[in-house]
A = this chain, B = another copy of it.
Amino acid sequence: MKFTIVREEFLKGLLNTSKIILGKNSDPILNNVRLDLFEDRLEIVATNGEMSIKSIILKYKDDKTLIRDLVPGSILINARMITEIIRKLDSDEVNFVIEDSSTAKIQTLKSTFNLNVIKASEYRELDFDENGEKITLSRNEFTNCISQTSFSASNKDNRPVLQCVNIESDTKNISFTATDGARLGRRIVELPLENRFSINVPAKSVNEVVKSLNNEKEIEIFINEKKVLFKLEDSIITSTIVAGDYPNTKNIIPHNYFYRLEVNSNEFLKTLDRIVIFSIDRENIVKLTMNEDEVNVSSRSQQVGDAKESLQLFKYSGDRLQISFNVDYVSNAIRALKSDDVVLSFLGEMKPFTITRKADDKVIQLITPVRTY
C-alpha cells in the first residue's frame, strides 16, 4: 500500500472522520482510522460505536490529481497522530508508504515520520449500505430540521430517547422533534412517503452530520430498522437508532391561545440578556409582565437587587399576564427560529407556551414556564 496525496485534502478527510473519536473510546482499536486505498479513491473510516463516518477522497477531482503513485491496500492508523502529522507538515504533497505491515512511513522532502500501524482486519465491520426508506432533503431544509430542534434534546443521562431527535413520517409529512421534558422543538416538512415510520436518532449524531456539511445541495437519508445513513458530498455518516417509544408529544402542543405577544427578536434577546444578570437566586429565570400598553422584563435577587426593562417594540393582545421562564430556553428557541419577529402565544401563567416565526408555523418551539414569585 502506498500513495502520494495533496496534503490539504488528506487533512480535510482526517479531520472530518477523526473528530468523532477524539473523546474516550472504550475499545482502543477505535482510536484508529481505517485507510482503505482503492484504484480510484482513498476512504478514511472512523467509528465510535454509535456513529460511523467514511470520508472519500477521489483520485481525480475537477481535473486535479489529488492522489498519485498509488498501490491499493488497507491499514489502521492512530487518528490523533496521523492528523497531527498531516496538519503540521509544511509541504503541498505527502508520501505515505506501508513498508512492512507494522509501520507507515510518512514523508515530505524534509521530514520522515515512521508511525506504528495495525492490520485493517483488526477493525470492526461497518455497514455503509444505502438501503431502506430513502428521503431527500435540500441542504437548507435539512439544516433547519436539525438546528431548530436538536438543542431541545436532553443532554443528561436520563431516558435515552430524550437525547434523540425523533424523525417521523405519517406518509404526508415528516416531522423532526426533540424534547427534554421542559421544552420542545418541532419542524414539519411536507414530503409524501409510502411508509409510516418513527425513529430516534441521537442528537449528537445529527449534529455531527450538520457539522460535516460541505458544498451539498441535497442530503440523502436512508432509514432501515438498524441504522440511519446520511449521504453527503464527500462523506457518508451512519448512526445507530435508539430503541423505545418516543413520548407522544402531539397533544402537548396547544393549538389556540388567550394571550399573544409579538416581539422584535433582536430587542427581546438583548433585554433578556441584560435582565438575567440579576437572576442569581433563581438560575436564569426572569419575569415577563404584559398588558396592551406595556411589556416589562424583570428579575429580582435578594442578594444583588432588582432589574427592569420595558420593551420598545411589541404588539400584545390579551389581558394582563405575568409569566416566568428560563432565559436560556427562550433565547435558544428564538435564535433557532431565525426570524426578525417572533410570536409568543400563551394559554395561562402555568401552561406551556409556544414561540413561532411571525411569517409561518413550520417550526414550533414549546417552553414550560416556571412559577412566578
Q: Is residue A306 contacting chain B, with contact meaning CB distance below 8 A?
A: yes
Q: Is residue A115 contacting chain B, with contact meaning CB distance below 8 A?
A: yes
Q: Which B residues are CB-close (under 8 A) to A303?
A: 116
Residues of chain A from 194 to 211 with CB closer than 8 A to chain B in the complex:
none
Partner of A110, one of B89, B115, B305, B312: B312
A304→B81 contact, CB < 8 A: yes
A 306-324 to B, binary, CB cutoff 8 A, 1 in contact else 0: 1111101000000000000
Copies per complex? 2
Q: Is residue A61 contacting chain B, with contact meaning CB distance below 8 A?
A: no
B274→A85 contact, CB < 8 A: yes
A 269-283 to B, binary, CB cutoff 8 A, 1 in contact else 0: 011011101100000
B78→A307 contact, CB < 8 A: no
Partner of A304, one of B78, B89, B312: B78
Q: Which B residues are CB-close (under 8 A) to A277?
A: 81, 84-85, 88, 113
Closest beta carbon of chain B to A286's beta carbon, Å:
13
A 98-125 to B, binary, CB cutoff 8 A, 1 in contact else 0: 0000010000001111111000000000
Q: Which residue of B lies closest to A103 (CB)?
A: B305
State the 8 A-B residue pairs at the shortest beta-carbon distance, nearest first: A111-B309, A114-B305, A115-B305, A88-B274, A113-B307, A84-B277, A116-B305, A114-B306
| A residues with CB within 8 A of B | 78, 81, 84-85, 88-90, 103, 110-116, 270-271, 273-275, 277-278, 303-310, 312
Q: List 5 A-B contacts (CB under 8 A).
A: A78-B304, A81-B304, A88-B273, A111-B274, A116-B305
